[in-house]
Amino acid sequence: MGFFGKLFEKKECAICGGEIGLLGNRKLEDGNMCKACASKLSPWFDDRRHSTVEQIQEQLEYREANKEKVAAFRTTRTLGENTKVLLDEDAGNFMVTSARNLAEANPDVLAFADVTGCDLDIDESRTEIKREGKDGEEVSYNPPRYQYSYDFYIKIHVRNPYFDDIRFKLNNRDVEIENDKMGGGLGRMHGSLDPERDVEYRRYKEMGQEIKDALTQVRQQVRDEAAAAAAPKAAVTCPWCGATTTPDSSGCCEYCGGSLNES
């Protein structure tokens, strides 16, 4: 079969069994998948081509079970602007999404304990601004002038069988800063710049730091609670029955059931 024959050959989705359209094929390591099935995968998953049909089926089962977690999710705190980090502090869960309809988007619900780290990355690019010379050619200013562009990214490192991190941009358009001709205001001489003096730059940097601090704090809180639960409990005298007892998981006397947290 020639090239065009293979191009127009009908393919079957190994996941749902449906016929795959001309531009709808999504290659797997050992089969093909339609774009409808591919759309159900986690948005943070990027290893489709190296995944087997069996692995994709397992992920789709995970994604189906995730719908119940989304339905039970109760947002107590929202961080970010376009793509948001939603926290359910009562359940100890979070999600990252830009969707308005959570049930339809089915964003991955992760536990605070799944977080292993969080980074704020600021990407800077610089373009020289030139003026028109006497002969119509572009010439540099003296000292040079530059247009600086900044993008702010959050990268959340997580424990998950299908992805290792969640990376998203905080700003929906570039934060642009121009140093002025004489180096006054925001600019300095010789093209250097202090971006911290720009309102938009500070806003997105503070937004990113807030997300980083929040996820770091909730992760540490979970770890501290787990360590406290695992630590051996000291024996105390029960104020209700007078017995020497080790508090149970509810903080009660193992003999009479009285609360050891009450006087």
Nearest one of 208, 197, 230 to 79, comparing CA atoms: 208
| Residue-level pLDDT at 203 | 96
User: Parallel, antiparallel, or unpaired for β 165-169 and 138-158?
Assistant: antiparallel
Q: How far apart are CA 129 and CA 127, in angstroms?
A: 6
Q: How far is the CA of 50 from the CAs of 20, 41, 112, 162, in angstroms?
A: 20, 14, 29, 12
**Tokens found for residue 245:** 């007892």
Q: How far apart are CA 21 and CA 29, in angstroms?
A: 19
| Residue-level pLDDT at 247 | 82
Q: How far apart are CA 231 and CA 101, in angstroms?
A: 42
Q: How far apart are CA 51 and CA 54, in angstroms?
A: 8
**Tokens found for residue 142:** 């003296």
What residues pair up with 132 in beta bridges, in sequence order? 138
| Neighbouring C-beta atoms of residue 144, cutoff 10 Å | 13
Return the amino acid letter for 95: M
Q: How far apart are CA 182 and CA 142, in angstroms?
A: 9
What residues pair up with 34 in beta bridges, in sequence order? 25
Half-sphere exposure of 92 (CA within 13 A, CB side): 12
Nearest one of 76, 108, 110 to 93, comparing CA atoms: 110
Q: What is the mean pLDDT of each run of 10 residues along the chain (263 residues)?
A: 54 91 87 93 93 95 98 97 96 96 97 95 94 87 90 97 96 87 42 81 96 90 72 79 81 85 60
Count how many residues are written for the chain: 263
Q: Burial-class residue 135 by CB neighbours within 10 Å (0-12, 13-18, 19+).
A: exposed
| Residue-level pLDDT at 8 | 58
